[in-house]
Amino acid sequence: MRVLSGIQPSGRLHIGNYFGMMRSMIGWQERSELFCFIVNLHALTTVTDGRTLAANTLEAAADFLALGLDPGKAIFWVQGDVPEHCELTWILHNHTSMGLLERSHSFKDKAARRETPHHGLFSYPVLMAADILLYQADLVPVGKDQKQHLEMTRDIAGAFNHAYGGPVFTLPEAAIDPGLATVPGIDGQKMSKSYGNAIDIFITKAELRKRVMGIVTDARAVEDVKDPDSCNLFAIARLFLDEEGERGLRERYLRPGLKYGEVKKELVERVWDFFAPYRERREALLGRPDDIRDILAAGARKARAVASVTMEIVRDKTGLRY
């Protein structure tokens, strides 16, 4: 079974990325043919500084490798290193209706946050469809909030298949893992780089402390019973607890006397300790940037070998090969 997923290098990776996608995706390398890539072309929709994007791309690769991605078990590359992504995107544009793109929840949300939303944001789902269909992926792990993107990919693939009279593209399924966490940010919204509410994975302890201590909580007094199910501090803290630890924290919430400040101080230590071994591996990797580039180049060659097979079929079907 072929599984595909990617992540944008639009900023430092945060714990929402890790618990929401990265941990689960890395797990797929043990039980599937995993295609994992850094989607730097998608990042162009928000990152307009070239040096920043280049640095973020290298750091995102180091993050994945440090967190356990094994390039010997998965194909790992950078999207922009495989030009077939852009070629297929243009072809798929011609089989994507305006109405389909106008219904995109993601575009509506992002457009509402920008003064002048551009075409890159509007056509984002077409590039995403090309990413998936290029490798004939069977499964794409996503959270519930991204299910529409997979449905749009299936619609685009179906339109192309119908136009050219055959099953050129595999219709991918969304692997909606109930274990994938939608992690709240420090303000209670979904944790996101673009919202400025994230707790980054690889930051100094002082930065970590500042972010955690800024987690918004309600105004209940110390002597009041707290509600763990409506508390974003609890929602974040539970990610770093085993079943017994989560149960113990819940019981503390339901008894008078709990201080949110104490829970935050405990969370700082848990987060710091949790990522300690990964932090050491990342620092070692970033000390050898050419090794990271070599890994990505090798991954791009493997990815392009697969992509070229799909594109030969597409070029033949569309008449681009004459």
Q: What is the DSSP string of 191-205?
A: P-TTTT---BSS--H
**CA geometry: angle 122, 45, 196, nearest 5 deg:** 110
Burial class (CB in 10 A: 0-12, 13-18, 19+), 235: middle
Amino acid at 87: E
Instruction: Return phi, psi of residue 169, to 5°.
Output: -110, 140
Which positions are annotated as active-site residues?
110, 190, 193
| Rounded Cα distance, 6 and 79, in Å | 9
User: Comparing C-alpha atoms, which of 258, 242, 306, 266 is closest to residue 34?
Assistant: 306
Sign of the CA dihedral 137, 163, 144, 199?
positive
Question: Which residues pair with residue 60 across a beta bridge?
Answer: none
